[in-house]
Chains A and B, each alone.
Chain A
Amino acid sequence: MINNKNIAELSAMDISDLSDWIKELPSHLSSKQYSIAKEIIKEISVRLQFLLDVGLNYLSLNRSSKSLSGGEAQRIRLATQIGSELVGVLYILDEPSIGLHQRDNQKLIQSLKTLRDVGNSVIVVEHDKDMIEQANHILDIGPYAGKNGGTIISQGGPKELLKAKTLTAAYLNGELAIEIPKKRRKGNGKFIEIKGCTGNNLKNVTVKIPLGMMVGITGVSGSGKSTLINETLYPILNNYYFNGVKEPLPYKSIEGLEHLDKVIDINQTPIGRTPRSNPATYTGVFSEIRSLFAKIPEAQIRGYKPGRFSFNVSGGRCETCKGGGLRVIEMNFLPDVYVQCESCMGKRFNRETLEIRYKGKSISDVLNMTIDEAVDFFDQIPKIYRKLKTIKDVGLGYITLGQQSTTLSGGEAQRIKLASELSKRDTGNTIYILDEPTTGLHFEDIRVLLNVLQKLVDKGNTVLIIEHNMDVIKAVDYILDIGLEGGQGGGTIIARGTPENMVKNKVSHTAKYLKKELF
């Protein structure tokens, strides 16, 4: 025991408390103990300070790393890296600001600057406005996405960027903006009320969630947003509507379940990472296309079933490359080389299968279409059309149906997922739960996404968004702000209401930043 605490008690403290405890420690130690502990204490307090610097004060040491969000895990690694004090290293970070409240963002930028100032190069892939404005140098890649991107459209300091004629610049200098809706929806007057939630740091929270509008759940990192929504509300709904097995965290009672009939959760887990997965297979549209091909007279004459048009089972696929279109040549200790399959020329199917054509296109030609082309091509087939249209609506018109999932960017993959959920028929009484849907999205992408979500709400559905991004928060109809701080300092609802009413709150951190956006 040291200073009346054992090691398990220390692990349970959050990092800011632990840091205070360590700072006070020397005065509680005997001189012998101190001389032993001096170096260790120094090391611990330095590391804790790095963690505080990247805004992770609310975590505790015994928190399982399984339960960390992607952004949190990344910032922990960042803190460890800053602690290593290497110089001359090139650091590459992928959107470190994800999941970070505006308040903590500045801390993060500061720690990146520290990393730079000790003599390292830092490259950040980022959409965050503050980060862009404080960078030394900015590369803007575009102008659009996919086939229409891939060139550098502007380069230089923040000031030069503002003058450039690019989408990013337009949003930064205010030429374009994500609009604040003129009218906030009133909702349908119904509520879901969940009472007495006590999971993790929640302090007996009772919350009324209005239905029929877009509801934003905000609050600094670690304040308990995910605990309330993902760990308590969603499992309850999922149990109720679909007999889900996950146990919700403790709560007393819930009312108003009868006002809804379906819950759809769109979370941050990535979609398949095998080269055989592609947008068409993931959204399920490929099954429909295969059924369509099997119904073509020529296919019926030959007795082809939908399986014939799959590149994952033998029958119709090219057996040389097993439907991959590419062949791997192993070079032992040199990198593997991929060559186009010589027998199908990358078409993935055998000759007989390719002879079946719909409107003059073979199944392989269809896979090489962009979504935009495919939407026009299949406009007569409602099932296929509807699914493709949702992919187009989330702004992914440029990807091809057969593009391997491994080559999709993080934001693209997430939107595919979103599209496949959105293409499920909404009932008008559906509740959608989205956890930080703007992850990896550019301003322009966010605008497109918001349009899709607004349309859903217009049909009477409820959309629940856990979000830090102010552009989204300002566009919702109703805000629930959880706080005040992260960890033990959080877990209560501190503000609720329309964005306009909510900003009047004096204590909420979100309100403070939202005010800047609204006025």
Chain B
Amino acid sequence: MKNFDEYIEVKGARVHNLKNIDVNIPRNQLVVITGLSGSGKSSLAFDTIYAEGQRRYIETFSAYARQFLGSLERPDVDKIDGLSPVIAIEQKTTSKSPRSTVGTITEVYDFLRLLYARAADVYSYKTNEKMVSYHDDQIKSLIVESYDNKRISILAPLVRSRKGHYRELFEQIAKQGFVKVRVDGEVVNITPGMRLDRYKVHDIEVVIDRLKIDEKTMASKRLKDSILMALNQGDDVMMVLAEAEKKPRFFSRNLMCPTTGLSYPNPEPNNFSFNSPKGACLECNGIGSIYKVNINKIIPDPQLSIKNGGLAPQGPQKNSWIFKQLDLIAQRFNFTLSDPISKIPKEAMDLILFGGKDKFSVANKTLGLSREYAIDFDGIANFIEHQYKTTDSSSIKRWAKRYMDKIECPSCQGTRLKKKHCIL
């Protein structure tokens, strides 16, 4: 054990071109191994010392665990003494995944996520107002402050922008002892058998309490109880409507925009991760860019006719279903496939590129009858995009990519996150 503290002893290393060398490498020092390219530097550092360190580490696992790890070759060396745990920092270890970024590999982004989830101010993406969350006592004092000497109703929202007749709901509310509800902005009494238009969108709030705020309110239990009741009924959200005012104000135990009532769940670090479905932009799945069909690549030269290969993915005319469809479209819009693409009416081009359904009849003069033709065309651009998204074959994917451009994702502008989280 004499000098393990000072040296890593390598005895008889013969990996690759190493000639049975013995070497003592001082510990806790900065050691440089140099020499000509191919002289055996890497063989000593990586293929001997690092390989042995790794192997010994793996050996500490049970035989059962090792079979999953794959085994490491024992380097051709007689003995290495005084080896510490080894970490190699090589150059080829970068991940090629498009999801890996500087932020994720350094883990700085993980901390930023945490910071934003816990300490950020939230702004509504609709109104750009700061969003707030309250606890019950705060709501109480806020109401007392801002509605001094006013008559207010305390409401608990039950239904927000949903269709239905809600007969059972009204019955249930009535059973709990409430007498008034606010339906689509109108305060009404609950009547037996009350129901709404089933096919319209409704907002329903139950009126919990109506009271006047004055200097005594703060001390009394009534407001506090009503708030509690409203929050319980409204699933942590309540509204306050002052008499003679149209717009209610929202209060929530969660984050909420006070004017629109737009509510977020309390942010979690996940919401800021573009690798989690909770945070990733839905359009690009958190990649930040998407492939989109580029019309200019489908029609490289508008002076060319469809017949002569003006539509690059189709090539020149052949006897195929697609060209029959194109021919139908041409008849419908009164042009021919030998016209240059620039001459084709825009409507027709839209149909060719983005698809659509159409019916028309063609009169056959010689026979004196007319025949109905149905056009049901997917559209070339749509077809390419569909192929790109669904195919398993890499060659079709490559084919589709030829007519597509990689562009910044339009819905998240390359930020990779859902818009509502991005603004947090």
Contacts and interface: CB of A to CB of B under 8 A. Distances in A.
28 contacts: A2-B121, A6-B422, A47-B111, A62-B415, A65-B94, A70-B92, A90-B8, A91-B87, A92-B50, A93-B88, A94-B45, A94-B91, A96-B89, A113-B30, A121-B8, A121-B29, A121-B31, A136-B30, A137-B29, A137-B30, A142-B39, A144-B36, A150-B18, A167-B36, A333-B67, A333-B71, A409-B42, A442-B34
Given A47-B111, A92-B45, A333-B63, 14 more contacts: A7-B417, A40-B118, A91-B88, A93-B88, A121-B31, A132-B32, A137-B32, A138-B31, A140-B33, A141-B40, A142-B39, A407-B16, A409-B43, A410-B42
Contacts of B74: 335
A245 B29 CA distance: 50
A204 B267 CA distance: 41
A41 interface: yes
Interface centre among B36, B73, B74, B97 (most CB of A within 10 A): B36
B95 interface: yes
Interface stretch (B19-27, B157-165, B235-243, B245-253): B19-27
A33 B83 CA distance: 46
Nearest to A411: B37
A396 B36 CA distance: 11
A193 interface: no
B112 interface: yes
B259 interface: no
A47 B122 CA distance: 26
Contacts of B34: 125-127, 132, 138-141, 168, 442
A15 B105 CA distance: 14
Interface in A202-253: 245
Interface stretch (A76-84, A367-375, A471-479): A76-84
Interface string B79-98: 00001111111111111111
Contacts of B33: 123-126, 138-141
B423 interface: yes
Nearest to B118: A36
Contacts of A60: 102
A379 interface: no
A112 B95 CA distance: 24
Q: Which A-B residue pairs are the 9 nearest by beta carbons? A: A61-B103, A411-B37, A145-B38, A8-B415, A149-B39, A136-B29, A141-B35, A70-B91, A73-B94
Given A6-B423, A135-B31, A74 B86 contact: no
Contacts of B105: 65, 73, 76-77, 80
B119 to A, nearest CB: 4
Contacts of A329: none
B37 A138 contact: no
A474 to B, nearest CB: 21
Contacts of A59: 102
Nearest to A153: B35
Contacts of B421: 7
A125 B72 CA distance: 22
Contacts of A1: 120-123, 423-424
Interface in A97-129: 98, 112-113, 116, 119-127
A319 B16 CA distance: 26
A68 to B, nearest CB: 6
Contacts of A144: 36, 39
B101 interface: yes
A501 B25 CA distance: 45
Interface string A426-455: 000000000000001110110000000000
Contact of A90 (B53, B72, B93): B53
B28 interface: yes
Interface in A31-82: 33, 36-37, 40-41, 43-44, 47-48, 51, 59-66, 68, 70-71, 73-74, 76-81
Contacts of A137: 25-26, 29-32
A398 interface: yes
Nearest to B44: A141
A200 to B, nearest CB: 14
Interface of B: 8, 16-19, 21, 23, 25-46, 49-50, 53, 55, 63, 66-67, 71-74, 83-98, 100-109, 111-116, 118-123, 272, 288, 402, 415-417, 421-424
A134 interface: yes
A449 to B, nearest CB: 10
Interface of A: 1-2, 6-8, 10-11, 15, 29, 33, 36-37, 40-41, 43-44, 47-48, 51, 59-66, 68, 70-71, 73-74, 76-81, 88-96, 98, 112-113, 116, 119-127, 131-132, 134-147, 149-153, 155, 167-168, 245, 270, 331-336, 395-396, 398-399, 407-412, 415, 440-442, 444-445
Given A2-B116, A29-B119, A333-B71, A141 B101 contact: no
Given A2-B116, A136-B26, A151-B19, A442 B36 contact: yes
Contacts of A41: 115
B279 to A, nearest CB: 10
Contacts of B104: 65
B101 A90 contact: no
A335 B70 CA distance: 8
A270 B93 CA distance: 13
Given A131-B32, A136-B31, A445 B37 contact: yes
Contact of A64 (B46, B73, B89, B101): B101
Nearest to B83: A90
A334 B288 CA distance: 45
Contact of B89 (A63, A78, A98, A167): A78
Nearest to A123: B31
A236 to B, nearest CB: 18
The winner among A7, A48, A336, A442 for most chain B CB atoms within 10 A is A7
Given A61-B101, A92-B86, A119 B35 contact: no
Q: Which of A81, A145, A167, A399 has the most chain B CB atoms closer than 10 A to its own CB?
A: A145
B35 A149 contact: yes
A65 B101 contact: yes
A152 B66 CA distance: 35
A411 to B, nearest CB: 3
A149 B38 contact: yes
A331 to B, nearest CB: 8
A113 B28 CA distance: 10
Given A1-B120, A81-B87, A90-B49, A135 B30 contact: yes
Contact of A43 (B42, B71, B111): B111
Contacts of A399: 38
A396 B39 CA distance: 11
A442 B32 CA distance: 13
Contacts of A152: 21, 23
B45 A146 contact: no
B199 to A, nearest CB: 40
A136 B7 CA distance: 13
B21 A89 contact: no
Contacts of A410: 37, 42, 91
A146 B102 contact: no
A250 to B, nearest CB: 13
A71 B101 contact: no
B115 to A, nearest CB: 5
Contacts of A29: 119
A412 B38 contact: yes
A80 B102 CA distance: 11
A76 B103 CA distance: 10
A7 B8 contact: no
B63 A73 contact: no
Contact of A47 (B28, B43, B107, B272): B107
Contact of B25 (A2, A139, A270, A441): A139
A102 B317 CA distance: 61
Nearest to A331: B71
Contacts of B100: 64-66
A495 B71 CA distance: 53
Contact of B84 (A78, A88, A135, A145): A88
A119 B84 CA distance: 12
